[in-house]
Structure 1
Amino acid sequence: MRGSRVRTVAVVGASLAGLSAARSLRKQGFDGRLVLIGDEPHRPYDRPPLSKEFLSGAVGEADLALEGDDEDLDAEWVLGSGAVALDRGDRSVRLADGRSVRADGLVIATGAAARTLPGSEGLEGVHVLRTLEDARALRDELASGGRLVVIGGGFIGAEVASTARGLGLEVTVVEAAAAPLAGPLGVRMGGVVSSLHALHGVTLLCGVGVKALSGRRRVEAVLLEDGRSLPADAVVVGVGARPCVDWLEGSGITLDNGVRCGADGSTDVPEVVAVGDCAAWYDPAAGGHRRVEHWTGARERPALAVTALLSGGTAAQQPPRPPYFWSDQYGVRIQFAGHAALADSVTVEEGTEADRSFLAVYRRSGVPVAVLGVDRPGPFTRRRRQLSSTAAAPPTVAPAAPMSSHGP
């Protein structure tokens, strides 16, 4: 079926990316049957506050709602039962509770799930942070105070450490890499940003992995590969996320660290597009496919995918804007746009690293490919616009590995 014959669209995934796709469908004139499927029982909610304001108790669950009070998408909501299979023959999505939803068009927005630490299953006091239920459990845990060990120094880990420290806990962050945030920011700037931990009394241990967790019913310590043992009353595992695409095995849709898509979210199956954390879009600037787990991408990219879905892939489109994310740590706003991995140089052009308030520009052969702002929102926004205007003609580079990093 081509775009004009799509009369029923199923959006599989009811978080930000799925909601953004549903909004785009209605905005672009789709007036057919719209079904939103979600494995969680909740209507769409905002995830970035889970590691910050919600975790600290500054906001409640009602404040997380993504839908407006008067918003009506004229959609059917199927919540609390996730997709387990896709029958490509009759274009039906089979759900965990046995129901099926048939559709002419499909938006895959099933997101990603937090990776766990092998051997931690069933051990009390060990947490991940991805869902509202995760955040509820961790918030209750932190209320007891004590010693928290965060495994993984990425954005989720850093934000949890910041929040926990603000609540008065003794916090240690363990990062296996030589420097936290080296993937999204590069080694130098990752080191600068992660120095915020020490400034606020958080212990940061880099270049060492975790061997195991010890404890009978409840975690008591984190055992490091170098022989050290870190006493712990609670542990947060922040070691990345895996795309939720197992339910698509055998469907004919190509999977490669997520759903493999073109630069507009199109898959290799007609009338099927993918968006959000589960989608590995082709990135012309990077010369390869990559998942971009950022809030802004989940909000903006679905409009491109919906255009491709409704037009049958015939509409000419501009490539998506360069990836953008922000993070709030210890009262400092960190903003980043572009691809640090493409750069051959990075220069601080405003402020100083020592003051933790600066603007840094990443370049390749003199062409800006990324920008980092630390407590410089105005200058960062101007540079980001300039970066977007040059993104249509990026420098030629070798294919890059998929990028997966936290983006509120």
Structure 2
Amino acid sequence: MKVVSFLDALRGSGLAAAASLLVVMPAHGVVQDITATFRPDPSNPMVNEFVNTTPQSGVCPGHIKDYCEKNGLFTIRTGELQAASSGPIAANHEDPRHGAMWKVPSEWRDLQVVHSETGQSETVQVRIAGIGHRFDIRPSVGVWGQPGLAWNQAWRNAPAPCQGVDYFAASSFFVLFFWLVPENAGVCNRVPGLPITQMWYGHTEYAYGLRTPNPLTMASGEYTGSLNYSIGPGGDFDFGDIMIPNDNVLTFNFTLTVDHHLKVEVPPGGNRIQLEPQGGWQGWLQSGRKPARLFHDQTVNLWASSQFKMSLECGDPLGNTCSVRNVAGHQVPLDIAVTLPAGISDGSGRPVSRLPLRLDGSGTQLFQPSRYIDRKPSTLHFEIQADGVSQMLDQDSGNVYSGTATVVWDSEV
């Protein structure tokens, strides 16, 4: 929370190891932590997005970095998720489930992340956008040769609906490959031209896509949530009926951190306000013409990346606003209003221009930036209207009226 206090109507405050035969252990669940952070960037004030801070591994950082950055993809390579054939794989089998197949959760799924203190809930969307392995095989990688398709091209180029990324490495007995998976894709599979006696996946690599909420509508702090994917025949990650995984659940634990910026800067001397008529006091002094109003417009600089509210506190309240008073106790109302920079709207979505600040906070309970506001000028308008001015001038000549007002910018909406 940032507070600026105004004295005399304004006071400043203000992400190829050698493989061995896989031993399938009891399932306990593979866990992957996904982290993302939002901090406003003064150099890119129009970019209001989370940055994925999860360490990457595999093909995105190592082989297809530009493609992944352009398409918002991230890859993770893990040795925790493995699989092994439960028996031989027949040559030229017709049912994809009887060999090497992949069906992954390529559709977007929703999960809720919840603020650790307020309980505020937001929606994150995630999908699996690619799949790959290092697989070891017996008798040799040459079993994948088919008429018109060399064994190495079988893995460099993906079968539909999957899409290859020209990533491939191999020896006589193992292959590393990776394929992209379009949204809502079905099964991708490869059929050997010769029988396979043994096959196992020493590691699994997957790409995922994220859709995160608008951070400008979120409170500062941490939001957490989890998404579980089932693994195994008929599961979310389905490798067929022959390739049996070592685990049956992949859990994504999400932590989204929001670090907002709210700052108000009062220029030197801007904490003391002198109210005067338009053009000064000459009209009154020379011709006795009463001023229509006394006023002062004070500019302050504002930084804001999230919702905030404003409120008013007065040293000497009068009705729903502040006042100024002379030594004899005579009191007149002091009206205070605010104009905020373009890019900030009120609770109804309207621009903020000369919006009154009141002691009960009505009308100023919510302001919403549509982008990061980076040191943009705002204006506080101080005014004594005609009736109050007339009363003041009817008092003894030379009277001094003074008062205090505190304007509060508060991020705790």
**TM-score bin (small chain):** under 0.3
**Between structures 1 and 2, the one with greater helix share:** 1
After TM superposition, the score normalised by the length of structure 1 is 0.20
Per the normalisation by structure 2, the TM-score is 0.19
For the pair shown, the structure with the greater C-alpha radius of gyration is 2
| Higher RCO structure, 1 or 2 (CA under 8 Å, sep 6+) | 2
